[in-house]
Amino acid sequence: MALAPQIQLQAGGAGARDRARRLTGSPALRTVGRRLLAAVPVLIGVTFLTFLVLSALPNDTAQAILGLNATPAAVAALNHKLGLDQPFWQRYWHWLVGVLHGNLGTTVEGASVNHELATRVPTTLYLLLYALVVSVLLAIIVATLAARRPNGIADRISLTVSMLGLSTAPYVFAFLLIIVFAVKLRWFPVLSSAVTGPVSFFQNLTLPACAIGFGLFAIYTRLLRADLIEQMQREDYIVTAKAKGLPPWRVLIRHALRNSVFNLITVIGLNLGGLVGATAIIETIFQVQGIGSDLLTGISNHDVPMLEGITLVFALVTVLGNLLADMAYAVLDPRIRYGSSTS
């Protein structure tokens, strides 16, 4: 009788090992692991090129910090303190070793880059996600209504609005939003403050999110509308679905829209890198407490550690966004499987 608990423990341990083996043997997990490993040289290449460009710029960081009246001895001492008198490759190697140990370095003003990014990156990510989600949802709704009746009222309105979004720069639209909704109507504050809860999130990030997302909405709407109309008019499976007597809305949403979303996901993944850059510019206009101000300050001060940290964050967001886009294909279409041949 005493052997029974031991047998049960052994059986339970064997079952756990089998479950772990099946989990690690999942094609999707193997694909994620390969993509993450492939992202390592990409991140190193991006940071190296950024370091190279910043080092090649004709700017004396120590002179900019101390002012034009600083003595050559004081400038040389600060250059030595900041490590700017070392060769380029040595400075990059020291920074890279620090990153591998979780230390992004120290700004030229003596602040920790880790602390600066930890306090400001969440706000930037909230703003980025807010703009992206709202623009995608609105694009799906408007494009579906437009594709239901091509050349109809909804279609013409969508084309006009999307053309306006494509023709207006985000920073111009940002100032228009400030004039109308902040100055005239006073629905939102002119300048944003710290995000401390749902109410402050809506008040402080809505106008910046609209400024960022309007152009995205225009791109996504035109792309999705054109793809939906083409599928509804030319694809054989749409003709078959109509022949079965399915309602037009069901054919459009369940069949055409589901296939068109794949192209939309691809475009979202491709323009994600430019989106994070636009977010930093819009943050500066609205004084959002994100990394936009740190980016401009780093550029003016030639602050290489800060700029490298921001570049690394942007690169990570882009890589992870593209990885999520790839994984979304398998979620939307169960026929897609990432086998061992997937790179």
Query: Rounded to whole angstroms, what are the CA distances from 268 to 100, 314, 321?
Result: 30, 15, 9
Residue 232 and residue 242: Cα distance in Å, rounded?
A: 10
pLDDT for res 7: 46
Domains for the chain: give ranges and CATH numbers: 46-103 (no CATH), 120-332 (1.10.3720.10)
The three-state DSSP-derived secondary structure of 201-221 is HHHHHHHHHHHHHHHHHHHHH
Q: What's the pLDDT tens digit per position in 70-84?
A: 777 777 777 777 666
Q: Which residues of 208-227 are buried (b: 16+ CB within 10 A; e: fewer)?
A: bbbbbbbbbbbbbbbbbbeb
Residue 23 reports pLDDT greater than 60: no
Residues 6+ apart with CB under 8 A from 102: 114
The DSSP code for 254 is I
Helix, coil or strand: residue 192? coil
Q: What's the pLDDT tens digit per position in 210-261?
A: 999 998 999 999 988 888 888 777 766 777 777 777 777 777 777 677 777 8
Report CA torsion sign: 177, 183, 188, 192: positive
Specify the higher pLDDT residue, 268 or 55. Answer: 268
Residue type (1 letter), 148 = R
Residue 303 and residue 341: Cα distance in Å, rounded?
A: 43
pLDDT for res 337: 55
Contact call for residues 236 and 208 (beta carbons, < 8 A) = no
pLDDT for res 17: 55
pTM of the model: 0.77
Contact call for residues 309 and 298 (beta carbons, < 8 A) = no
Most confident of 12-26, 53-67, 116-130, 237-251: 116-130
pLDDT for res 102: 86
pLDDT for res 340: 43
Residue 230 tokens, joined:
């083409």
pLDDT for res 218: 92
**Residues in the chain, overall count:** 343
- Extended strands (E) in 190-309: none
- Mean pLDDT for 21-50 is 74
pLDDT band at 11 (very low <50, low <70, confident <90, very high): very low
Residue 233 and residue 239: Cα distance in Å, rounded?
A: 8
Specify the higher pLDDT residue, 45 or 24. Answer: 45
Task: For residue 112, list its beta bridge partners.
Answer: 106
- Segment (H or E) for 64: helix 61-66
Residue type (1 letter), 26 = S
pLDDT for res 208: 92
Residue 136 reports pLDDT greater than 50: yes
Specify the higher pLDDT residue, 27 or 264. Answer: 264
Specify the higher pLDDT residue, 124 or 15. Answer: 124
Residue 96 and residue 90: Cα distance in Å, rounded?
A: 10
Contact call for residues 278 and 173 (beta carbons, < 8 A) = no
Residue 41 reports pLDDT greater than 50: yes
Specify the higher pLDDT residue, 284 or 5. Answer: 284
Residue 28 and residue 145: Cα distance in Å, rounded?
A: 35
Contact call for residues 208 and 286 (beta carbons, < 8 A) = yes
- Mean pLDDT for 15-36 is 61
Residue 138 reports pLDDT greater than 90: yes
